[in-house]
């Protein structure tokens, strides 16, 4: 028997309206009591009595047992979620920045007050990746999780590679369609997929990682030369967040543009679609594909969480509670393509084992090995307009790193 949910919604933008469209006309054993909005003067299709600008009118209403948080402001979203959970109200959220930055505290609040926080809609839109990591892979050894987590940047890259559209034109089109914000840096700079990666890593490996400790470099400095290089090699460039287990005890995370080959699942993920690849020890490689942006796809994920609450569902954070001894590290070397102008860029990043180098007046690049630690320490260098970096897909370990990994393996066996 399902429990009736009496819902207070915060935010009635694209996702909020998409959610309402899906709920309307269905018998789901739930009732929307009140919707909090910012602008009371905006003309809306629903009864004006349903709306309020007073957050406490919802949070202090004893009749409301479930809060659906769909606003952009991460700080305000956290205040709403915290007060709701502390009051014993369940929360459904799609705010990836808020969740990624406060996940450890939010998990404690759920345990202390017996409420549940669900956030499938915060990661990859319509793809049910969190529920799968939490339930299907709960006893799996995961080698890695990666993919396309941001529909805006993927739309731009699709237009560039499939239609020869200039970056600026593709970005403007993405903004006009509502995929990218007026200030698009959250998407094209790799911040949005970084927050999503932090959340996914909590469920995949039981690690609550401070997003500031995850490298994110985006596509905003992509040039014609980089595009031409990729085309000559029959690659596409995709913005790919990655969490990967590199030894028995170490997990790395980063968000970087990546050269993607034609045999990669991600090669044909286009426009606003997202794709997630999970590499597991026993289930092997599995791929999830779906729309990552838009009111109805994200609204469908939010509704899935709401529906699950009717039956008392909650995340158990099984891998976190297993205390499996995993640690987050930046002690790994990856192979990268680096376009640059000044030689000191290569020197400061400590690019080693260079396997390819090209230099002319208007275009210089190297392909070589660099430590994730060095990239994190020099992120200010990586976002300068004359620099573009992309992962080739290869990992290159130093002798010392190999010794550490071999030592861990020996202890296990």
User: Which residues are known to be catalytic?
Assistant: 196
Compute the 3-state secondary structure of the chain and give helix, strand, coil in percent, each to the nearest 5. 40, 25, 35
Structure tokens of 192? Answer: 């949005």
Nearest Cα neighbor of 236 from 265, 217, 259, 266 is 259
User: CA 11 to CA 13: how far, in whole Å?
Assistant: 6
Q: Which helix (H) or strand (E) holds 373?
A: helix 372-377
CB distance 263 to 111 below 8 Å: no
Nearest Cα neighbor of 126 from 24, 228, 239, 276 is 276
Cα-to-chain-centroid distance, residue 66 = 25
User: CA 314 to CA 317: how far, in whole Å?
Assistant: 9
- DSSP label at 50? G
* Residue 178 phi, psi dihedral angles, 5° rounding: 85, 10
- DSSP label at 385? T
Nearest Cα neighbor of 317 from 117, 93, 122, 90 is 117
Nearest Cα neighbor of 122 from 299, 320, 263 is 299
HSE toward the beta carbon, residue 378, CA cutoff 13 A? 19
> Which residues, in sequence order, are CB contacts of 387 under 8 Å at separation 6+?
221, 338, 339, 340, 341, 345, 381
């Amino acid at each position: 028997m399902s429990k009736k949910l009496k819902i207070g919604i915060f935010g009635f933008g694209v996702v909020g309206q998409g959610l309402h469209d899906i709920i309307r006309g269905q018998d789901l054993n739930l009732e929307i009591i009140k919707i909090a909005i910012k602008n009371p003067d905006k003309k809306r299709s629903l009864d004006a009595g349903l709306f309020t600008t007073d957050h406490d009118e919802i949070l202090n209403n004893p009749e409301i047992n479930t809060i659906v948080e769909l606003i952009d402001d991460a700080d305000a979203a956290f205040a709403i979620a915290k007060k709701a959970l502390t009051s014993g109200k369940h929360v459904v959220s799609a705010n990836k920045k808020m969740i990624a930055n406060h996940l450890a505290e939010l998990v404690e609040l759920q345990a202390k007050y017996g409420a549940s926080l669900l956030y499938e809609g915060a990661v990859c839109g319509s793809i049910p990746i969190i529920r799968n990591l939490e339930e299907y892979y709960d006893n799996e050894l995961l080698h890695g999780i990666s993919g396309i987590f941001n529909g805006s940047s993927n739309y731009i890259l699709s237009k560039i590679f499939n239609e020869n559209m200039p970056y600026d034109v593709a970005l403007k089109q993405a903004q006009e369609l509502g995929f990218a914000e007026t200030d698009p840096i959250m998407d094209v700079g790799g911040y949005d997929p970084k927050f999503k990666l932090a959340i996914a890593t909590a469920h995949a490996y039981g690690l609550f990682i401070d997003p500031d400790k995850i490298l994110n470099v985006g596509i905003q400095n992509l040039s014609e030369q980089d595009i031409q290089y990729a085309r000559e090699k029959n690659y596409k460039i995709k913005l790919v967040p990655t969490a990967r287990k590199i030894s028995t005890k170490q997990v790395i995370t980063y968000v970087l543009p990546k050269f993607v080959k034609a045999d990669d699942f991600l090669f044909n993920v286009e426009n606003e679609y997202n794709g997630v690849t999970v590499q597991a020890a026993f289930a092997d490689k599995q791929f999830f594909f779906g729309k990552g942006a838009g009111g109805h796809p994200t609204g469908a994920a939010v509704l899935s969480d709401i529906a699950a609450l009717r039956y008392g569902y909650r995340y158990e954070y099984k891998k976190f509670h297993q205390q499996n001894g995993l640690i987050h590290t930046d002690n790994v070397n990856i192979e990268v393509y680096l376009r640059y102008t000044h030689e000191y860029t290569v020197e400061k990043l400590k690019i080693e084992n260079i396997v390819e180098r090209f230099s002319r007046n208007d275009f210089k690049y190297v392909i070589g090995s660099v430590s994730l630690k060095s990239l994190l320490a020099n992120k200010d260098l990586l976002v300068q307009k004359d620099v573009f970096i992309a992962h080739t897909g290869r990992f290159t370990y130093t002798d010392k790193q190999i010794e550490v990994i071999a030592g861990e393996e020996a202890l296990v066996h």
